[in-house]
Structure 1
Amino acid sequence: MADSAICFKRVDYSLDNLLNYIETGDIGLPDIQRPFVWKNTKVRDLFDSMYRGFPVGYFLFWANQSDDKSRSIGSGPKVHDVPNRLIVDGQQRLTSLYAVFRGQTVLDENYKKRQIEIAFHPRSGRFEVADNSIRRDPEWIANISVLWAEGQNSRKLINAFIDKLSEREALDEAEEERIADNIQQLINLKGYPFTALEIAENVDEEHVAEIFVRINSEGKKLNQADFILTLLSVFWHEGRLALEKFCADSRQPAQGKSSFNHFIEPDPDQLLRVSVALAFRRARLKSVYQVLRGKDADTGEYSAAVRDQQFAKLKAAQADVLNLTHWHQYLSALVGAGFRSRQMVSSELALMYGYVFYLIGRVELKVPEAQLQRLIGRWFFFITLKGRYSSSPESKLDADLADLRGITTATAFAELLESKMASELTGDFWDITLPFSMESSSARSPEFFAFVAAQNLLSAPVLFSHKKVSDLLDPAVVSTKESLERHHLFPKAWLVSSGIVEQRQTNQLANYALIEWSENIQISDDAPTAYLPPIREQFSQEAWQRMHQLHALSLGWETLGYFDFLKKRRSLIAKLVRQGFELLSSGGAGVCGGSSSTHAASDLDAAKERL
């Protein structure tokens, strides 16, 4: 195709024609699109705009002769097995319209089928997402899909709605006419006009993918991961499907081995980032997109041969990324580091970047698994505590990957990671920086998650309980209520009554402790000097003292002024976090079973003693 050639034409459709083309199979969906529809609120806004007569955008189609990778929208048999048109841009819009007008289910972001129910208020001409109150209210048509159901007579439907409304209140002629007109106006949306730009059938897949990227980069602002997933759909269809299957399987338990876990439900773009980092030692996806297209760095030309070579690297890396043994062994390293589930993950990106280092250590540098488990668990603890990838994550990972260049042995790999941790976790960090950073009220503070991980490693009991924190954080234990709750050691209501009203002060990280929900209810809003004595009677002196140590509480803390308490506890939390982190380097017992050797047990006892 010549660069100056016009490769598209304009075609006008009514919505009804588009829907019919979908049903007959004339319009299909190629795998260069993400398979998810909008949120219901966006579908509601789409119908509101159409109802008001506003323009809602155009579609981009690709004339097609044969494409065995395309799939049709909707379900049921098609007249045409191979679509004549493939939708390149506007799939979310068209799929949403088809789902509502034809009453079809769609796939949500968790790969589960759901119905889109948009409600209409004929008296005011207003749209809403249906909920239970709307479904019970005769003023609403709770699901507008009924308006276009097969065999439906619009006049009978309008009369039935008005009759039902009249049973509750008398309607004058003007009201009845306005309601009837509004419903009919909605029904007539099936004739809504759309314009489509149709790419010629002689345009190849690579150019179609490039058009898709260019159009969306101007409006939809897809990220670089979306661009690469587009290339996968065109040049490696099976790879894209494998990513989607892995993600779908991670969301529900299976009988056999699967990607399901208690830490993360990954999306294709997250897994893609790991594959790219493993294959090309790069975190910035923008440059990788050009590499995968086969662009020569020196000439700027694109080569199919170079593209195939780069995809071969990506394929090999993705095979390792999606390897279930690798996946679950990595996650077990997190458990061994005291992290139990997604409730303790402050950054999904950090979790996925940690997987990159596990794979490099296991697949490329052959680090013995037992050593790798401890090293990566320690590394994840470190990147969580430091929030290493929370700011400029791609730049930070690029720098870390660059430091790995030239590393060829398991020993050098371990030494590099250990040196990175040692250079940042200095004495000043533990004594000054960490306590200062805990002057926060963030509900998802990485410092708090590191604190709980350290408690798990040190076999801490739940505060005011004989049960272990790690046992009650076990994600396999399912109950109607969370086993543990964050408890304000100085209750919030008591603080407010004492004149401390700012949420940033009452919800300080150092004012929190994990206790059982039943105990939290009993404590209520009493001052700690009031609620603590009855609880103290339930424990021996040794148990009471150990509980205080492992919750970073000094004996007699309840008598301190609130701000003095916060300052002292921040320092104690930092010391406990340090003990937990240092325990990982000794190979001591962790929450996943760890070593039962005398050496490991003595290390654990020594760590607790130092507290």
Structure 2
Amino acid sequence: MSANVGTRLSTATAYIKDLNVQVRKGEIKVPQFQRPFVWGDDQALALLDSVANNYPVGSLLLWRTTDKLAIERNIGDFVLPQTDDMSPTDYVLDGQQRLTVLYSAVGADPDGPGFSALYDLERERFVSAKSASAGLHMFPMRWLYQTTKLLNFRTALQAHKNAALLQEQFDALIEVITGYQIPVVTLKDLTVEEVCPIFERINSSGTPLSIFDLMVAATWSNRFDLNETVQEIAEALQPKNYGEISGTRVLKCLAAVRDSSTSRERILALRQLREKPSDMDGLVDRTKKALLKAVDQLITDFKLYSMDFLPYEAHLVILTYIYAQNPTLTAGQLQRVRQWFWRTSFSERYRGAPDDFVTRDLTAIQSFVLQGDVLAERYGAVPDETSLKSMVFRKNNSRSRAFSLALAKKNPRNLTNGNSIDTAVALSVYNKKQFHHIFPEAFLRKNRPAVERNYSLNFCMLAASENNLISDQDPQIYLPTLIKALDANADAVFESNLMPSPREYDYTSAELEPFIDARVGIVRRHIEALCSGHY
């Protein structure tokens, strides 16, 4: 923590009763970017037991600010009152689950919703109210600060056969819980930018803080809701099957269009537009139009019908940036977009790339697209035959996604009947049944268990309905059978799948490695043509 932040930090201890009063008054709230209450009864009971034994339960970390985060989550099941905008609010950064349990167990109304516990004086343990019966020896913990109910319970306890012992235990319980203090660390008047890394650090083992979640809370106003903005953009993209675009991707596109940067700092700087709704509306409209153009090109030029097959997020962000600056591209500029896309996909240019790397590419690639001021090779070389032969097909691998798109660009036809494959269906969502092991996986597992079965060059596209027809058949049998059935169409069908021509390759004696050797040159020439941007 920097010295500047340290000067705005205070430490104190607070009684449970005082914390609950602050919660009830709405002075302590949970920011929207916190995860909801998730503790089960066992965890809640263990916390109460720790308090009753005077064990430390950890500190609370609060962020005190007058900068209201208008979208807030209540404490557990409890609806908390609104406070005026002039009052400072303490937002819980760490300790939400513990605070919720303590409020629910001893601060909430006796008949209110949420977790409720009893203390069994006979067994000296806490139990959930929903799983226990009332009795003289069962003290409802929500009566702890209800003076009349507490005194009435103690009086009634005199009727118990072990009244003296239980009253002594009861008095000890009340004393330790009402006297229990929790350390509270308060960060005062920090900005959202300063709080964000602190929250991420202390929450590293929990639900990661999404920058989108943070920005929803930080940019909200009566005129602007980031959730609604993302939903609006998603609805515009829905007819193109891109409606599942994430909020974080939208933020990166907004920052790229506004500031030519995808850095965290520039994304957080979008908060400034909260006070300028018309500027934010203009930015959103411009970004949405550019996104639609980017998606149109991804579909038209690259057969990219779903986010599932997008090699890298950077492709969408950079393409959106280009179209925001230049709504119309010439034929030569479109060719250079294709060169950039295929070369960066197969060379894995954006694999693990930090935001500053993508930011540098925003303006550099726009210059390349508009002017062709550098050679296309700068953005990646065409993969050589050695790397293509070793490439393994995996769902979440960018090269595998690029390979799938490259197959689609050939307008493949089913090996089984020669019918055209609907690539829009095949690539609308990842489904392994739309991809076929030419040397079937089950066949290789049985006959050559040690060999790699998932080489990319052992895959072609095949309609899911046709895949089961081949199943685990021997390729030396099923492929010649299909070739015979296809008759004069065999060469064209195999060529559309980037497979060696039946006229030139003997499939009756096909083995995996020789087949890959025969196929790799065909595939490489196709990828080379794609990387040239000609189609």
Q: Same fold (TM over 0.5)?
A: yes
- Identity in percent: 14
> Within 2, Cα distance between the matches of 1:518 and 1:335?
24
Report what 1:356 is aligned to: 318
Report what 1:565 is aligned to: 515
> Within 1, Cα distance between the matches of 2:440 and 2:281?
51
Give the SS at the match of 1:539: helix
Return the offset for 1:101. Answer: 7.7
Return the offset for 1:88. Answer: 4.1
Q: Residues 64 and 500 (structure 1 numbering): CA distance in 2 closer, same or farther, change over 3 Å?
A: closer
Alignment of 1:62-461 (within 5 A): 62=63, 67=68, 69=70, 71-73=72-74, 78-82=80-84, 85-90=89-94, 93=97, 147=128, 154-155=133-134, 194-198=182-186, 203-204=188-189, 207=190, 209=192, 212-213=195-196, 215-216=198-199, 218-220=201-203, 233-234=217-218, 236-238=219-221, 242-248=225-231, 257=236, 262-263=241-242, 265-285=244-264, 288=266, 292=269, 319-320=283-284, 323-336=287-300, 337-347=302-312, 349-351=313-315, 354-359=316-321, 361-368=322-329, 376=337, 379-401=340-362, 403=364, 407=367, 413-416=369-372, 419-423=374-378, 429=382, 431-432=384-385, 435-436=388-389, 438-461=390-413
Maintained 8 Å contact 1:441/1:509? yes
Maintained 8 Å contact 2:309/2:427? no
Could you say which structure has the larger radius of gyration? 2
Q: Residues 153 and 482 (structure 1 numbering): CA distance in 2 closer, same or farther, change over 3 Å?
A: same
Report what 1:27 is aligned to: 28
> Within 1, Cα distance between the matches of 2:277 and 2:298?
28
1:169-202 Cα distance to aligned partner (Å, 9 max, x none): xxxxxxxxxxxxxxxx9xx999997443345xxx
Given residue 61 of structure 1, which amino acid in structure 2 is its aligned partner? L
Report what 1:507 is aligned to: 454
Return the offset for 1:332. Answer: 1.5
Return the offset for 1:335. Answer: 0.6
Q: Residues 191 and 10 (structure 1 numbering): CA distance in 2 closer, same or farther, change over 3 Å?
A: closer
Give the SS at the match of 2:250: helix
Give the SS at the match of 1:506: coil
Maintained 8 Å contact 1:333/1:374? no
Q: Residues 278 and 289 (structure 1 numbering): CA distance in 2 closer, same or farther, change over 3 Å?
A: closer
1:243-276 Cα distance to aligned partner (Å, 9 max, x none): 433445677xx5xx46686347344443333333
Give the SS at the match of 2:486: coil
> Within 2, Cα distance between the matches of 1:46 and 1:321?
47
Give the SS at the match of 2:372: helix
Report what 1:489 is aligned to: 438
> Within 1, Cα distance between the matches of 2:226 and 2:326?
25
Gaps of 5+ in 1: 103-115, 118-143, 160-184, 294-306, 587-611
Give the SS at the match of 2:402: helix
Report what 1:12 is aligned to: 14
Return the offset for 1:527. Answer: 0.9
1:317-376 Cα distance to aligned partner (Å, 9 max, x none): 9825874332222111111121121332233x334xx323432x3333454488776654
Q: Residues 189 and 68 (structure 1 numbering): CA distance in 2 closer, same or farther, change over 3 Å?
A: same
Give the SS at the match of 1:578: helix
Maintained 8 Å contact 1:263/1:345? no
Maintained 8 Å contact 1:490/1:528? yes
Q: Residues 371 and 416 (structure 1 numbering): CA distance in 2 closer, same or farther, change over 3 Å?
A: closer
Given residue 493 of structure 2, which amino acid in structure 1 is its aligned partner? M
Q: Identify the match of residue 50 of structure 1 among 47, 50, 58.
A: 47
1:118-148 Cα distance to aligned partner (Å, 9 max, x none): xxxxxxxxxxxxxxxxxxxxxxxxxx9x945
Maintained 8 Å contact 2:440/2:471? yes
Maintained 8 Å contact 1:225/1:272? no
Gaps of 5+ in 2: 107-113, 116-125, 139-172
1:490-541 Cα distance to aligned partner (Å, 9 max, x none): 1233223333425xx1221111222233433232222112223443444232
> Within 2, Cα distance between the matches of 1:52 and 1:572?
70
Q: Residues 216 and 570 (structure 1 numbering): CA distance in 2 closer, same or farther, change over 3 Å?
A: same
Q: Residues 467 and 193 (structure 1 numbering): CA distance in 2 closer, same or farther, change over 3 Å?
A: farther
> Within 1, Cα distance between the matches of 2:239 and 2:99?
29
> Within 2, Cα distance between the matches of 1:51 and 1:76?
19
Given residue 14 of structure 2, which amino acid in structure 1 is its aligned partner? D
Given residue 277 of structure 1, which amino acid in structure 2 is its aligned partner? A
Q: Residues 449 and 557 (structure 1 numbering): CA distance in 2 closer, same or farther, change over 3 Å?
A: farther
Q: Comparing both chains, which one has the higher relative contact order based on Cα–Cα distances under 8 Å and sequence gaps of 6 or more? A: 2
Give the SS at the match of 2:258: helix
> Within 2, Cα distance between the matches of 1:321 and 1:388?
30
Maintained 8 Å contact 1:62/1:198? yes
Give the SS at the match of 1:197: strand
1:82-112 Cα distance to aligned partner (Å, 9 max, x none): 487431412764697599989xxxxxxxxxx
Calculate the aligned-residue CA RMSD, in Å: 5.2
> Within 1, Cα distance between the matches of 2:428 and 2:81?
48
Maintained 8 Å contact 2:343/2:379? no
Given residue 385 of structure 1, which amino acid in structure 2 is its aligned partner? F
Q: Identify the match of residue 517 of structure 1 among 444, 461, 464.
A: 464
Residue 528 (1) aligns with residue 475 (2): yes
Report what 2:428 is aligned to: 475
> Within 2, Cα distance between the matches of 1:58 and 1:260?
49
> Within 2, Cα distance between the matches of 1:95 and 1:208?
24
Given residue 492 of structure 2, which amino acid in structure 1 is its aligned partner? R
Q: Identify the match of residue 493 of structure 2 among 547, 550, 559.
A: 547
> Within 2, Cα distance between the matches of 1:96 and 1:551?
59
> Within 1, Cα distance between the matches of 2:192 and 2:285?
25
1:259-304 Cα distance to aligned partner (Å, 9 max, x none): 6863473444433333333434345436x589x59xxxxxxxxxxx
Report what 2:153 is aligned to: none
1:439-489 Cα distance to aligned partner (Å, 9 max, x none): 32534343333333233333222332413241432639xxxx959433222
Q: Residues 350 and 95 (structure 1 numbering): CA distance in 2 closer, same or farther, change over 3 Å?
A: farther
1:553-573 Cα distance to aligned partner (Å, 9 max, x none): 112345232211122223322
Maintained 8 Å contact 2:438/2:458? yes
Given residue 381 of structure 1, which amino acid in structure 2 is its aligned partner? W
TM-score by length of 2: 0.67
Give the SS at the match of 2:391: coil
Maintained 8 Å contact 1:275/1:317? no
Give the SS at the match of 1:585: coil
Given residue 309 of structure 2, which amino acid in structure 1 is its aligned partner? M
> Within 2, Cα distance between the matches of 1:9 and 1:265?
43
Q: Residues 433 and 48 (structure 1 numbering): CA distance in 2 closer, same or farther, change over 3 Å?
A: farther
Given residue 273 of structure 1, which amino acid in structure 2 is its aligned partner? K
Report what 2:526 is aligned to: 576
Maintained 8 Å contact 1:284/1:398? yes
> Within 2, Cα distance between the matches of 1:99 and 1:552?
65
